[in-house]
Structures are given as C-alpha cells and as structure tokens.
Amino acid sequence: MDVLFQQILNGLTVGSVYSLVALGLTLVYGILHVPNFAHGALYMMGGYITLIAMTSLGLHYWLAIFCSIIVVALLAVLMERLVFHPLREAPPIHDKIAAIGILLFLEAFAQLVWGADYRRMPTPYGEVINVFGLTFTMQRLLVILGAVVSMILLYIFLKKTIIGATIIAMSQNREGAFLMGINSNRVAMMTFAISGALAAIAASLASPINLVFPGMGHLVILKAFVIIIIGGMGSIPGAIIGGYILGLAESLGATYISSNYSDVIAFALLVIILTVKPNGLFAKGVH
Amino acid sequence: MKALLNQRNGVILLLLIAILFPLLVDNQYYNQVMILAFIWTIAVYGLNIVGGYTGQLSLAHAGFFAVGAYALGLLTVNGGLNFWLAFVLAIVITAGLGLVVGLVALRTKEHFFAIYTLIVGYIIYLVIYNWDSLTNGVRGLIGIPEPGSIGPLTFESMTSQYYLVLFFLVLTIFVVRRIIQSLTGRTFIAIRNSEDLAQTIGIPTMKVKLLSFVVSTAFAGLAGALYASFIRFIGPDIGYTTIVFDMLMYLIVGGIGTLAGPLVGTLLVVWITQSLQFLEDYRMIIFGPILVLLVIYYPRGIVGAYLEWKMNRTLKRTKQKSHVNHQKQQAEEG
C-alpha cells in the first residue's frame, strides 16, 4: 500500500511537469494551429537560465526562476515575431520545419555555451520529509504546489482579464475574433510569452529532481504531444488532466509493469489512440 | 556554345566528375566523406518522395534507416546469410515495416502525421536500444561484413566501395526521376497541392500516399544497408530523431520537392560541415537559422530558387521577344 501511495505522489510530480509543458504547447496550437516542435528547447533554456542565474549570479532559487520566466517568455515572443509570424500564410509543412530549425539552433547554442555535460541544479528545498511512512523531498512537493499555483493563476488570467479573454476568443473562433476587432498579433505574442513562461516554470521546478543538459527537452516534448493529443489539441483542461493521467500511468506502470519500458507507455498510448481515431480524441473539426 | 550547356550534358559532366573523383582526389578521407554523403543522399531522396512530392512530413525516416542497417547487420552477423541476399532482404524488411506503419500513420493528416511519425521513429529507436538480446542494445553490432563480390567485382578497397555506392545513388536518382515524371508522380504532387481536391478528381489518395511512403522507406532501408556495410559498426544512435532532422536539413537546403535538391543539399552541407571542423558539434548554430531563413524566404531551397530565377528569365526574354516582334510588325504595317 505504501508503495502505491509513494508512486501516486511520484506520478503527481511528473504529471505536474508534463501538464505545465503541455499547457504551453496547447495554447500555442489553439491560436496558431502550429505544433511547436521548438517548445522542448524553450523548456531546456528555462532549465539552463535558472541554473546559470543561481550558480553564476548567485541568485536565490525563486529569483532565478523569475529571471528564467522573463528570459524564456521573451525568447518565445521573439520566436513568434521572427519565425512563425512571417510563415502565417505558408503551407503547413513549413512552420513545422521552421520549428525544428529553432529547436536545433537552441540545442546547439546551449551545448556551445554551457557544454554537453549533465548538470545538477541546487535547491534550498532538498530536505527529506517522512509522513505516514512516505518519504519524499520538499522539492517534489514544491513541484506539485508550484504547478497547481501556476495553473490557477493562468486560469484567473484567462477568465478574468480582457487579454485572457481575447486569447480564449481567438482559440475558439479566429474569424469571429477578428470581426470583434481583436489584434491577432498581440494575442499571438501574448500566447507565446505565456507558453514560454510555463515551460520555464516547469523546467525550473523539475530540474533539481532531474538534471540539466542540452537534450533534456526531447522526451518531455514528445510526451507533451501525446498529452495534447489525448486531451484534444488546443484544449486547456485536456492538457492538465492528460498530463496527470500520463504521469500517474508512467509511475504506476514503472512499478507494476516494467521500469525499462515506462517511457514506452506514453508512446504506445499515442499510437493506439491515433490508430483508432486518426484525428485525435475530441477532434473539433479544426484542421 | 549554348547547345553544349543543356541539361543532359550537365548531367553527363557531373557523372564524369563523380566517376573521376577517386582518381583525381587521392585521399582516403575525402573518399570516405564522399561515400557517406552519397549514402545520406539516397536516404534524403526517400524523404523527398513522401515529404517533398506527396507533402507528408515523415519524421520516422531515421528509424527506417536504422531498420535497414540493423536488418543487414543481423542477417549477416547473426544469420550468417550471404551478403547480397541479406542486402535485398534488408530493403524488403524496411519497406514491409514501412507498409505496416504507413497503413496506420497515413490515416492521420498534417500535424498528426508529423507527430505520429516522430513518435514511431522514437519507438523504433527505443526498441533497438532496449531489445538487448536481439540488437545488442547500447553496445551495437560489430563485424558486419563488407559487400560480397559479384562475379569478378570485389568491394574490398575504398575506391571500389565508392563506385558501388555511386552506382546505387545514380540508380536512386534514375528511379526517382522516372517515378516523378510518371502519372504516379503527378498524383503525388496532386495530393501535396490539395488532398481533398485530389480525392474529388478520383485519385485513390490513401493508396497513392501508401505507395509513396513505402517507396520512400525502401530508399531509407537501402541507405541504411549501405551505411552498415560501409561503416561496419552500428549502434542505436543511427535511429535517433536528430538523424532525421539532419536529413530534413539536407533536403530543405537543397530544395524540397525538387529532383536535384537532395543531391545538392546533402553534398553542400556535408562538405561545409567537413571543411569547417569546429562546426562538427555546433553545426546547428549556423544551419538552424539557415533552415528557418530558407523556409521563410526560399521555401524550395537552392535548387528551387535557381529554377524560379531561370523561369523568370525565360519569361522576361519571351516577353521582350514578343515585344520586339510586335514593334517590327507595326513598323512593317506602318
């Protein structure tokens, strides 16, 4: 029984990270209908900037995360302006290739500047807690808490502010939003900024548990794609719930099925889903 | 002079240069780079058929490349099969797997297809990595034999292997050209331009897409088998997704959806990378932005840009000519 609870806790930790990454991905998809393959690189940059801010500038963990959020959000806006904006009218194959170009560039950049080694991120919340026979580090709890707080803030932003409402409006109906006089450029930039910020938060929270290295975004982004397909491309609650389902499935699968193949679970899930429903679950008729 | 510069003579000249290359450049290293570049070119031609002509961006081709390489490796090393029999089987196995994957993957469209194939490629990598008893896992396969002799032809020296790979490259280009210029090739392009429209005018889109996918995986398998027999050591890394991104880069630089694109792009990028050694690990710092800029400004790459320039020039000339003729006519009438 203890093992089960322990694994559920682990699943919630992993799921929190997945949900945050998938949220950014799904927001961008909802607005631009672009599967942003470079999102994993934003996640990686988030990890590195927090790490560098802590080790080189000697900032406190929270301040470092704040820096990382700002920098990665700006990077994401830059990406939208320089790459995705000019490609808005291009055939669908082009923006995917451009996204891959950005991904390759950012990874090579990280490797050049920070080296290819795996690096450990220090955290002020390393102590181990023992409650009811369950052991966990404070950091794990922080991941879950941080993710939930970010999601609540995002929810309030989207529901209670006008800028948030324009984002929702544009993801629901592009033409309708234009008719209402919504500035699509501003919405696109805003969406990219949020997506980058979420990736930075996810990476900064998860890195003390995992490690920081140039390829750290690969698996996370692949799984985020699985999640947004499970949750419906462009759906915000779908991304959150999907993230937690996948996180729990993986950590329980690792214990009760096979730890070698826990990564395969997500991908097998996607293959099965798309085999049965080629347009994804909950296809809304958007292309 | 002008008659000498036509397309056919250009191709003959290129072929001559390719044939004379090992004789002119007596350098084992350069020959080796050239052989590898040719092998990648074959794989990129495969990617071009399904991605460039049929418009389905497949990100699973590194996986199929690895399947071809591992099929040859396992059949010869563990199975003890004759090299050429294993070689043919490797291509058949890869194309067979391509058929199975294609049957499912091609039901998905656009973004879903790209994501689906990306994940299929990753699964192939994971299977090779984790299936220790068959593939040796991380340690990889060693002792893959060099290509067996065909009658009096042996392939022990670097030069003879160069010609073998060159032969397959020329064969690939020939076959791709025949496909593209046939009615089948036209249906590929019709699907790329608009799948719905193609279906409306009676093209069996699923069948055609499947054909194009299987042919493209067969080329990936061929390239993989050649790679295994030339390098003679393979590890799971050759199936990793970064390899397909490399292939995609060659294709975009050269020109996606053009016949000469894969050749131009691969040779150019491989040689630039080779001549700037410091680029080896960081080549994407330069090629990443180039990829983005090309997609924005020259979506059909170097070859596409050249073709466009040539077309505009002929257009202008015919316009000028007709203008001159028109003036002459007016003068005569006047």
Record the tokens describing residue A50, joined without a space: 């927090």
DSSP output for A66-119: HHHHHHHHHHHHHHIIIIITTTTTS-HHHHHHHHHHHHHHHHHHHHHHH-SS-B
Bigger pLDDT: A287 vs B262: B262
Give, in order, the Cα–Cα distances in Å from A278 to each of A18, B57, B72, B98: 23, 16, 33, 18
Phi-psi sector, B214: left (phi>0), alpha (psi -120 to 50), beta: alpha
Note whether A108 contacts B281, CB cutoff 8 Å: yes
Gap from B303 CA to chain A (nearest CA, Å): 17
Residue B167 contacts by C-beta under 8 Å, 6 or more apart in sequence? none
CA B39 – CA B42 distance, rounded (Å) = 5
Q: Percent of chain B beyond pLDDT 90?
A: 38
Q: What is the pLDDT of residue A232?
A: 82
Note whether A100 contacts B283, CB cutoff 8 Å: no
User: At B4, is the pLDDT very low, low, confident or very high (cuts 50, 70, 90)?
Assistant: low
Tens-place pLDDT, residues B293-310: 888 888 888 888 888 888
Gap from B183 CA to chain A (nearest CA, Å): 24
Q: Does A35 touch chain B (CB under 8 A)?
A: yes
Closest residue of A to B54, CA-based? A93
Bigger pLDDT: B152 vs B241: B241
Note whether B112 contacts A229, CB cutoff 8 Å: yes
The distance from CA B324 to its chain's CA centroid, rounded to whole angstroms, is 45
Of residues A245, A238, A236, the one with CA closest to residue A282: A238
Query: How many CB atoms neighbour CB A126 within 10 A?
Result: 10
Gap from A219 CA to chain B (nearest CA, Å): 10
Structure-derived torsion over alpha carbons of residues B124, B130, B133, B134, reported in degrees to the nearest 10:
10
Of residues B116, B93, B40, B114, the one with CA closest to residue B214: B93
HSE-CB of B202 using CA atoms within 13 angstroms:
0
Closest residue of B to A112, CA-based? B282
Burial readout B294-328 (b: 16 or more C-beta within 10 A, e: otherwise): bbbebbbbbbbbbbeeeeeeeeeeeeeeeeeeeee
Residue B60 has pLDDT above 70, yes or no: yes
CA B203 – CA B148 distance, rounded (Å) = 43
Bigger pLDDT: A60 vs B319: A60
Of B104, B107, B292, the CB nearest to A98: B292
Of A94, A268, A279, the CB nearest to B299: A94
Q: What is the pLDDT of residue A1?
A: 62
CA B213 – CA B207 distance, rounded (Å) = 10
Note whether A260 contacts B283, CB cutoff 8 Å: no
Q: What is the pLDDT of residue A286?
A: 46
CA A110 – CA A215 distance, rounded (Å) = 9
Residues 114-143 of A with CB under 8 A from B: 116
Q: Does A74 touch chain B (CB under 8 A)?
A: no
Low-confidence ranges of chain A (pLDDT < 50): 285-287
Is A130 buried (19+), middle (13-18) or exposed (0-12) by CB count in 10 A? Answer: exposed
Is A167 buried (19+), middle (13-18) or exposed (0-12) by CB count in 10 A? Answer: buried
Q: Does B248 touch chain A (CB under 8 A)?
A: yes
CA A20 – CA B163 distance, rounded (Å) = 53
Note whether A93 contacts B51, CB cutoff 8 Å: yes
Q: What is the pLDDT of residue B224?
A: 95
Residue A16 has phi, psi (to 5 degrees) of -60, -45
Of residues A169, A186, A188, the one with CA closest to residue A177: A169
Of B107, B245, B281, the CB nearest to A111: B281
Tens-place pLDDT, residues B142-178: 888 888 777 777 777 888 888 999 999 999 999 999 9
- Which positions in chain B touch A229 (Cβ < 8 Å)? 112, 115
User: At B321, is the pLDDT very low, low, confident or very high (cuts 50, 70, 90)?
Assistant: confident
Q: What is the pLDDT of residue A52?
A: 92
- Which positions in chain A touch B120 (Cβ < 8 Å)? 271
Q: Is residue A212 classed as helix, strand or coil in its secondary structure?
A: strand
Q: What is the pLDDT of residue B21?
A: 83
The pLDDT of B104-110, averaged and rounded, is 86
Note whether A105 contacts B289, CB cutoff 8 Å: yes
Q: What is the pLDDT of residue A287?
A: 41
Of residues B1, B53, B77, B40, the one with CA closest to residue B222: B40
Residue B194 has phi, psi (to 5 degrees) of -165, 115
CB B161 within 8 A of CB B169: no
Of A101, A222, A270, the CB nearest to B295: A101
Q: Does A264 touch chain B (CB under 8 A)?
A: yes
CB B164 within 8 A of CB B149: no
Q: Is residue B136 classed as helix, strand or coil in its secondary structure?
A: coil
CA A11 – CA B243 distance, rounded (Å) = 32
Q: Is residue B199 classed as helix, strand or coil in its secondary structure?
A: helix
Q: Does B276 touch chain A (CB under 8 A)?
A: no
How high is the ipTM of this complex?
0.86
Is B274 buried (19+), middle (13-18) or exposed (0-12) by CB count in 10 A? Answer: middle
Note whether B292 contacts A233, CB cutoff 8 Å: no
Mutation site, B50, B53, B58, B115, interface A, largest A CB count within 10 A: B115
Note whether A275 contacts B104, CB cutoff 8 Å: yes
Handedness of CA A57, A62, A63, A66 (dihedral sign): positive
Of residues A2, A6, A3, A12, the one with CA closest to residue A249: A12
User: At B38, is the pLDDT very low, low, confident or very high (cuts 50, 70, 90)?
Assistant: very high
